[in-house]
Chains A and B, each alone.
Chain A
Amino acid sequence: MKMDVVIAGVGGQGNIFASLVISQYAMNKKLNVLGSETIGAAQRGGSVVSHIRISPGAIYSPLISRGQADLLIGMESVEMLRHLRLLNPAGTYLLNAVKIPTVLNNMGLDEYPAEEEIVLAAQEYCPNGRVIEASALAKKLGNVQMTNVVMLGALVKIVPFFDYNEVKWLVNANSPERFKEANLEGFEGGYKLVP
C-alpha cells in the first residue's frame, strides 16, 4: 500500500522533525521512501511544505502531484488550503486550527479567510478530516514549538498506518535530550486530543 504524505505549514513550526519521524517509520517497515522539502526561506516565516512518499514499489518524483496525497497534515490553516488539492478527496487530513496571518493580512490589504470558511472548504473537498487545536495544547504544555509532536500524536490515532508505540519511540529517539520528556508529553497529549 502506498502512503503519500504532505505536511504544510509556516517556517519554524517543526515540519522537518515531523517529516523525519514519518520517513523513518516507513523505512523501519522496509518500505521505499522518497521525500522533498522546501527550505531556504523557511526561517523567515514563509510557506514550508514537506512531501513524503512511501511505497512498497518504485517511487520516482520526490513531489506528490495533484490529488495523489493520502494524508495532508496542515500545521496552519491557510497553508493547508494552499496544498489541499494535492490531497486525494478520498484521503485524510489533519488540521491544526491556528491562524498565522500574512504580511498583507496585517496591512489590511488582503483577507485571511474566516475559520468557518476554512473548515467548510476542507470538509467539502474531503469528508474525512479532523481539526484539532494542537498549538493551543502545545502552548498549554509549555512550548508552542511542540505543535509538531502533538500533531504526530493525533495522527497516530486517526491513521491506522501508524503504530502508536513505534512512532512514540521515534519521537523520543529524534528529540534532543533536554526536550525528550516534554516531546513525549506533547505526543501523548495529541493522542488524547482525538476522541
Chain B
Amino acid sequence: MNEKRYVMGDTAIARGAIEAGVRVVAGYPGTPATEIVEDCLGYPGVHVEWANNEKVAFELCTGASLCHVRAMPVMKHNGTNFVTDFLMHVNFTGIRGGLVLISADDPGGLSSQNEEDTRILVHQYAHLPIFDPSSPQEAKAMVKEAFDLSEKTELVFCLRPVTRVCHARGIVKFEELPKDLPPAHYQPDRERFIMSAVEMPKFGGVKRPQIRHRWLNEKQALLQEIMEESRYNWIEKEEGKTGLVGCGMGYTLIKEAEQFLNKKLPLLKLGTLPLPRGKLREFVKGLERVVIFEETEPFVEGLFKKIFHEEKIEVEVLGRSGFVPADGELNLQVVLEAIQKANPFVKVSQPEVPPLNVHIPIRTRTQCVGCNYRGILNALKQVVRKYKGVVAGDIGCHDAGSFRPMELQSTIYCMGSSVPMASGMVLAGLNRPVFAFIGDSTFYHNGLLGLINAATQKVNVNVILGENTVTAMTGFQPHPGTGTTISGEKTIQVNVAKLAEALDISYRVVNPYDIQECRQALEAAVKEEGPSLIVSSMPCYLLSTRRGKKVFEPREVRVDLERCNGCMICINDFGCPAISLNKKEKKVSIDPMICVGCALCVDVCKRGAIS
C-alpha cells in the first residue's frame, strides 16, 4: 500500500505512529491535538484511550515502553505542563520501547487559555530532543523516525507540532503498516527505574539522582551527532549578508514570503533540537546577521547567541526577542516586515488591497442554543446576585458564562483550579458565598482532588458540577463519567453520589432545564455550612441531537410584545443567541431560524412575556 491522501496534520501524525508500530496511545483531549488520538483508532493490536488526564496518559505510556512496546502520549501544551513532574524523572531513567511525546502548541492561543512554547520545557528543562515540523507530511515522517531514534538513544523523543500543522490539511503519503510486532516483556533494572535518593556503591556512594543526571548529560553528544545528520535541517544557499532561519512553521512562512521578494536570501531550515552546530557554523560563513523565525519564544535565538558566543562568531542574531514580535502567532505579514527591516535592499511586492469602510462586529463564542449550561448558569446568576456571591470557574464549555453578557465566573485558570481557588477565597475570610463551577471532564481530570481537599478542610464552598457526560468542548470525547470508552465499548460510569457519600459532603442533583429547581438547590447550599456539591445533570444537547436523542421536548416560544418592557434580563442574564433587542421598539424578539425550542427563556422572563 502506498497511497496519497488529503488529510489533517493530526491524521498524518497518527498514521506515522501506526506505521512505526505504536501499540499504546493515550491522551487527554485538547485543541489542536485531539484528532491525533482519535485517528489512531481502528488498527488491530493498538490500544487507544482517553485517559482522565495527561499525566495518567504519559505514565501509562511509559509503563508500556518499559515492556519494550512503542507508546505515544498525546497532549496540548497545557497537558505537557501538567506532566512536568513525571517528565523530570523519565528523562533521567530513559525508556525502552520507543516513546514519542506529542506536545502540540497553540501560538496565539487560538483555542487555549494561554500561549506558550513547550520546546523550552522539554528541551531546555528536561534536556530531551524535539522535532518541530513545518508541514503535515514532515510531521508524519518525523514521528516515524522519532520512534526509531527514541529506541536508539533510550530517550523520550518529542514532536512539537503547532496549530497550523495539526489543523492544516495536505496531501500525505500513507505507507505500509508493520507486521509481527515483538511481544511485551519485562526485566527489572532497578538502577535505572527506581528513582530514589539511594547511594550507588558503583559510583563511590554518589546518589542515584546525580548519576542519572550524568547519564542524561552524556546522551547529549549522541543527540548532537544525530541532529547534525538529520534530514530535517538543511541550508538553501543564496547570495547576501542577511541570512534567514526558519524553525518549523517559521520555515514554511519564509518560503511563502519568498514569492513576494525580488531576491531570495540565504536560508537555514531547522526542524530539530538540539541544533546542528556544524550546519550553523557553515551557514553563517560570510553573513553579517541572521533573522530567526520560530514559534513562539526566542528559544532557538537564545541557543544561537550561546553557540556564537562559545565559538566567537560575530554575527548579529535577530528574532522574537523584539525584532520580530515577541508574542502571538507568526504570519506572512510579520515575516515580510522583519525581512525588509533586516535588509532594506530587499523589495517586497505585495498587492495592495483597498480598505473597507464598514464596521465589522466582533463575534465571541457562547454556549450553543439549547445548551443546558445556560439554565444552571442563569440560576446561579440569580443566586449570586441575591447573596453577593463569587464564582471561580474552570475549563470547558461553561467558561462562556464568564464572557458578556453573563459575566458570571470571576476566575478561570487551569484544569481543576476552580475548587481550590474557591476554597482559598473562603479560607481568606471572604464573607460572601463562594461557588466553584466545574464541568465533569475537568472534574475527573484534576478537579476531584480539590474537592477531597475542600471536604478534608471542611471548607464552606459550593461546588457545581456541570455533568453533561462528555468532553463537549473538544468534540465529544468520553471521560470517566460517560460510561463508554473511545471506541464506544461500555465501561464504568463514576458514581458521583457515592463519591459525595465517601467525602461526607452534602449532595444535590438538579435538572438544568428547570431553573427554579436549580435556584432552590443553590440557595439551600448557600444556607448550609461545609462543602456542598450540586450536580447539574443532563447530557450535552448538541451531542444528543446528533444522536437523535431528545433532552427536552422542543416547543415554539414567542414574545408577547404587550408584556415585554425591554428590561433585557433575558439577554443580559441568559444570553441565548436567538434572543435580540429591537432598539427602536425597546422590545426583544426570538429568531425562529436560531431558536431550538428549549423554552428555558420562559422561566427567565419575570414578566411572563415569553411563553
Contact = CB atoms under 8 A, between A and B. Distances in A.
B366 A103 contact: yes
B362 interface: yes
A140 B264 CA distance: 54
B580 interface: yes
A54 to B, nearest CB: 11
B170 interface: yes
A27 B170 CA distance: 10
B192 interface: no
A103 B360 contact: no
A111 B359 contact: yes
Nearest to A98: B593
A107 B170 contact: no
B229 to A, nearest CB: 25
Interface string A101-129: 11111111111110001100100110000
Q: Which of A41, A61, A112, A121 has the most CB of B within 10 A?
A: A61
Interface stretch (B202-210, B345-353, B530-538): B345-353
Given A39-B31, A40-B110, A41-B111, A62 B577 contact: no
A62 B361 contact: no
B167 interface: yes
Size class of the A contact interface (CB-based, 8 Å): 35 or more
A78 B352 CA distance: 22
B328 to A, nearest CB: 14
A103 B364 contact: yes
Contacts of B351: 66-68, 88
Contacts of B568: 107-108
Q: Which of B252, B361, B405, B593 has the most CB of A within 10 A?
A: B361
B580 to A, nearest CB: 4
Nearest to B540: A43
A29 interface: no
Interface stretch (A44-52, A155-163, A187-195): A44-52
Interface string B403-416: 11100000000000
Interface in B194-234: none
A74 interface: no
Contacts of A89: 353-354
Nearest to A10: B363
B303 to A, nearest CB: 25
Contact of B542 (A32, A43, A78): A43
A47 B363 contact: yes
Given A36-B164, A66-B333, A78 B363 contact: yes
Contact of A33 (B171, B352, B362): B171
Interface in A57-115: 60-63, 65-68, 78-79, 81-82, 84-85, 87-89, 100-113
A91 to B, nearest CB: 11
B583 interface: yes
A66 B358 contact: no
Contacts of B307: none
Size class of the B contact interface (CB-based, 8 Å): 35 or more
B374 to A, nearest CB: 12
Interface of B: 6, 8, 31-32, 110-111, 164, 167-171, 252-253, 255-256, 331-333, 350-354, 356-369, 397, 400, 403-405, 472, 474-475, 542, 568, 571-572, 575, 577, 579-581, 583, 593-594
Interface string A134-157: 010001000010000000000000
Contacts of B368: 43-45
How would you classify the secondary structure of chain A's contact residues: helix, strand, loop or mixed?
mixed
A4 B351 CA distance: 15
B167 A27 contact: no
Contact of A117 (B6, B32, B358, B542): B358
Contacts of B403: 103
Contacts of A139: 593
Contacts of B171: 27, 32-34
B527 to A, nearest CB: 33
B169 A107 contact: no
Given A43-B542, A85-B356, A101-B580, A36 B364 contact: no
Contacts of A34: 168-171
A112 to B, nearest CB: 6
Nearest to A110: B361
A24 interface: yes
A110 B362 contact: yes
B579 A106 contact: yes
A23 interface: yes
Q: Which of B363, B404, B472, B581 has the most CB of A within 10 A?
A: B363
5 contacts: A35-B168, A37-B167, A39-B111, A44-B366, A118-B358
B580 A105 contact: yes
Complex A-B, nearest 7 residue pairs according to Cβ-Cβ distance, in ascending order: A40-B111, A62-B168, A46-B365, A61-B256, A40-B31, A60-B255, A106-B580
B577 A106 contact: yes
A52 to B, nearest CB: 8
B164 A107 contact: no
A84 B363 contact: no
Contacts of A63: 164, 331-332
B246 to A, nearest CB: 10
B164 A106 contact: no
A23 B169 contact: yes
A38 B110 contact: yes
Contact of A65 (B169, B333, B400, B593): B333
Q: Which of B256, B365, B542, B581 has the most CB of A within 10 A?
A: B365
B11 to A, nearest CB: 12
Contact of B405 (A79, A87, A103, A121): A103
Contacts of A107: 404-405, 568, 571-572, 581
Nearest to A125: B354
A106 B397 CA distance: 20
B433 to A, nearest CB: 27
A121 B358 CA distance: 7
Q: Which of B331, B350, B353, B472 has the most CB of A within 10 A?
A: B353
A183 B315 CA distance: 61
Contact of A102 (B253, B361, B579): B361
A85 B353 contact: yes
Given A27-B171, A60-B256, A105-B580, A41 B358 contact: no
Nearest to A76: B363
Given A36-B164, A89-B353, A103-B405, A45 B365 contact: yes
B81 to A, nearest CB: 19
Contacts of B594: 100
B110 A104 contact: no
B360 A81 contact: yes
B256 A113 contact: no
Nearest to B252: A60
Nearest to B168: A62
A103 B369 CA distance: 12
Given A78-B363, A82-B360, A104-B404, 9 more contacts: A27-B6, A33-B170, A39-B111, A41-B111, A60-B255, A87-B353, A88-B353, A107-B568, A107-B572
